[in-house]
């Protein structure tokens, strides 16, 4: 499709976002509905989404590469050779490009186009989008593939714009940046020690040309060894034979990962048996350390305390300075109650003489200056480069960049501190959905990796969501429906179910992006239930049940001229 536009372009299905979700949706929907016009709008100049934008040093997937591929493309599965057990950003992006090129998907993707407004049109049962260049796009159905970690946030620090050195967010890493060349003899500062920060810090610390690295830790984070390994040609050949069983395993686990919890409970076995399992999974690659432990680890406080103590001992053994080790061990949440970042030598970074940990719980940042950062102890940290590894406005944040007007002109997002915001569909970023794919007062809108869906191993969740949406659109086509919206009762019941699923999980007592908290974003200072924290197996069962019952919970309608089919509507001027 290129990057040129014509006013008021017409679509049957318009997808926003060309990351893993958008690519999957475009391929599958184009195959299923060959007579419909399906297109993608993408703000960046290439496909890949988060795997294109997040090119910071050390960026790598923490799910096994083999489980991160599309299961529907058997030819690509047989052709593609994953080089490592946990692929780096560059390899995943090449994989997405390979899929797009193989299926000629780029012809239906419009790049360098950022949508600014979206308005529901009652008379025609369509959505009208407008981009930054004032070009219009009209579509019968709209699918959000904007991602749940796609809108970066900067820390709320006074005078942050005063810094005169190089400064950037990890998700906006300069394309032509060369570590050896551009960091040589420089004093580097990194704010943030989440998954992105841990990967960035580790990679930067290994660059011998830097002068110093100061890590500004806002909140200590648990982390565990990734244990990445290369995949040989012979190993890959065997893996290709095992793909079906691998995808089946993912379909049977609560988070769609290749790991199952031990069914035993922590306190029902002896101390020796506990340590035996913990040592076994600690030595394994990937999320075994997080997901392969005893079944009560994330619901029983004592079980979680015991496992957290074990993991803390591993950190202390790797960090030479006991005071630094103590600062690196979280005090406000137990192991696994936030998503666990995986690392390759992260804790050893703090044994280097040119690396300094600044514990912001003890000495918070007071302000940024032209030449660095001042902390509350009065110390000025001189810096040449300042890197913000401060995360994203997660889950609902991607919707914030668009000015939405749903049914009756209602905004999608709004703040409870003003009258207009109180009319919003999701007040204070507290989502209300049906199946995590639809929202009341937002007809004909569907979400992939939206709020109230399970996230887990993203490609597995993406494929399921796209399949459900495809089946629903087929139902609309078969019955000549031009309008679909969840009933208020269905939204209430689903939202209540999502809340019930979260009860008893220790993770829902912790501030994190998974509980809707980002203190740098207005309206996200209080925990909310923003994701489906129940089992993905149960989630899929409920979706299948909805379909089997004739899409119970959704209301359908036709335009006054009920005989006009969706393809005919799409080719007429509305």
Please write down the HEC assignment for all residues of 447-476: ECCCCCCCCCCHHHHHHHHHHHHHHHHHHH
Residues for the chain: how many in total? 574
Residue 124, classed as helix, strand or coil, is: coil
CB 110 within 8 A of CB 139: no
Strands annotated E in 218-343: 224-225, 342-343
pLDDT for 395 equals 66
Give the pairing of strands 413-414 and 426-427. parallel
CB 46 within 8 A of CB 91: no
CB 507 within 8 A of CB 432: no
pLDDT for 573 equals 26
pLDDT for 559 equals 75
pLDDT for 512 equals 53
CB 449 within 8 A of CB 21: yes
Would the CA dihedral through 273, 276, 279, 282 be positive or negative?
negative
pLDDT for 394 equals 61
pTM here is: 0.91
Residue 169, classed as helix, strand or coil, is: strand
CB 426 within 8 A of CB 528: no
State how far the Cα of 442 lies from the Cα of 40, in Å rounded to an integer: 19
pLDDT for 303 equals 97
State how far the Cα of 257 lies from the Cα of 249, in Å rounded to an integer: 8
State how far the Cα of 62 lies from the Cα of 49, in Å rounded to an integer: 17
pLDDT for 340 equals 94
Residue 254, classed as helix, strand or coil, is: coil
State how far the Cα of 516 lies from the Cα of 452, in Å rounded to an integer: 11
State how far the Cα of 426 lies from the Cα of 445, in Å rounded to an integer: 15
Count of Cβ atoms closer than 10 Å to residue 524 Cβ: 25
Average pLDDT per 10 consecutive residues for the chain, totaling 574 residues? 58 97 98 98 96 94 96 96 98 98 98 97 96 96 84 80 93 89 96 95 97 96 98 97 97 94 96 98 97 96 97 98 98 93 98 98 95 97 95 72 94 83 84 95 96 91 97 97 97 92 78 53 57 91 97 90 36 29
State how far the Cα of 73 lies from the Cα of 357, in Å rounded to an integer: 46
State how far the Cα of 481 lies from the Cα of 5, in Å rounded to an integer: 29
pLDDT for 514 equals 54
Q: What angle do CA 92, 97, 101 make, to 5 degrees?
A: 150
State how far the Cα of 200 lies from the Cα of 183, in Å rounded to an integer: 13
State how far the Cα of 70 lies from the Cα of 460, in Å rounded to an integer: 8
State how far the Cα of 111 lies from the Cα of 570, in Å rounded to an integer: 22
pLDDT for 427 equals 83
């Amino acid at each position: 499709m290129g990057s040129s536009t014509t006013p008021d372009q017409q679509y049957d299905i318009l997808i926003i976002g060309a990351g893993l979700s958008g690519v999957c949706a475009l391929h599958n929907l184009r195959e299923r509905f060959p007579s419909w016009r399906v297109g993608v709008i993408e703000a960046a100049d290439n496909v890949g989404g988060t795997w294109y934008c997040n090119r910071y040093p050390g960026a790598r997937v923490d799910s096994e590469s083999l489980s991160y591929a599309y299961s529907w493309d058997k030819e690509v599965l047989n052709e593609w050779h994953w080089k490592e057990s946990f692929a780096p950003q560059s390899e995943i992006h090449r994989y997405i490009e390979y899929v797009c090129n193989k299926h000629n998907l780029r012809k239906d993707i419009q790049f360098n186009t950022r949508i600014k407004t979206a308005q529901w049109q009652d008379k025609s049962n369509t959505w009208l989008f407008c981009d930054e260049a004032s070009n219009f796009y009209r579509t019968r159905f709209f699918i959000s593939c904007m991602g749940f970690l796609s809108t970066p946030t900067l820390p709320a620090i006074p005078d942050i714009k005063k810094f005169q050195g190089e400064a950037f967010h990890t998700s906006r890493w300069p394309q032509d940046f060369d570590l050896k060349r551009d960091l040589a003899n420089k004093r580097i500062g990194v704010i943030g020690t989440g998954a992105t920060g841990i990967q960035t810090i580790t990679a930067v610390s290994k660059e011998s040309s830097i002068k110093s690295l100061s890590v500004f830790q806002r909140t200590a984070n648990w982390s565990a060894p990734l244990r990445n390994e290369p995949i040989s040609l012979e190993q890959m050949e065997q893996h290709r034979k095992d793909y079906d069983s691998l995808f089946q395993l993912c379909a049977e686990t609560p988070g769609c990962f290749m790991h199952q919890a031990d069914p035993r409970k922590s306190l029902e076995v002896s101390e020796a048996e506990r340590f035996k399992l913990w040592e076994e999974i600690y030595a394994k690659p990937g999320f075994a350390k997080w997901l392969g432990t005893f079944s009560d680890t994330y619901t029983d406080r004592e079980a979680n305390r015991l496992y957290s103590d074990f993991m803390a001992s591993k950190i202390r053994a790797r960090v030479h300075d006991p005071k630094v080790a103590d600062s690196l061990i979280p005090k406000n949440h137990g192991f696994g109650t936030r998503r666990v970042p995986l690392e390759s030598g992260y804790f050893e970074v703090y044994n280097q003489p040119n690396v300094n940990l600044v514990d912001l719980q003890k000495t918070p940042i007071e302000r940024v200056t032209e030449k660095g950062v001042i902390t509350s102890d009065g110390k000025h940290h001189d810096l040449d480069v300042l890197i913000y590894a401060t995360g994203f406005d997660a889950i609902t944040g991607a919707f914030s960049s668009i000015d939405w007007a749903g049914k009756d002109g209602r905004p999608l997002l709004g703040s409870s501190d003003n009258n207009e915001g109180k009319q919003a569909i999701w007040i204070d970023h507290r989502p209300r959905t049906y199946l995590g794919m639809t929202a009341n007062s937002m007809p004909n809108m569907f979400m992939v990796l939206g709020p109230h869906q399970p996230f887990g191993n993203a490609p597995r969740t993406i494929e399921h969501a796209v399949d459900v949406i495809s089946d629903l659109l087929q139902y609309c086509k078969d019955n000549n429906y031009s309008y679909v919206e969840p009933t208020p009762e269905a939204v209430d019941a689903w939202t209540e179910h999502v809340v019930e699923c979260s009860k008893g999980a220790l993770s829902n007592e912790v501030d994190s992006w998974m509980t809707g908290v980002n203190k740098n974003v207005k309206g996200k200072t209080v925990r909310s239930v923003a994701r489906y924290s129940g089992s993905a197996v149960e989630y899929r069962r409920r979706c299948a049940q909805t379909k089997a019952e004739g899409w119970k919970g959704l209301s359908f309608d036709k335009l006054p001229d009920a005989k006009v089919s969706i393809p005919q509507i799409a080719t007429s001027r509305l």
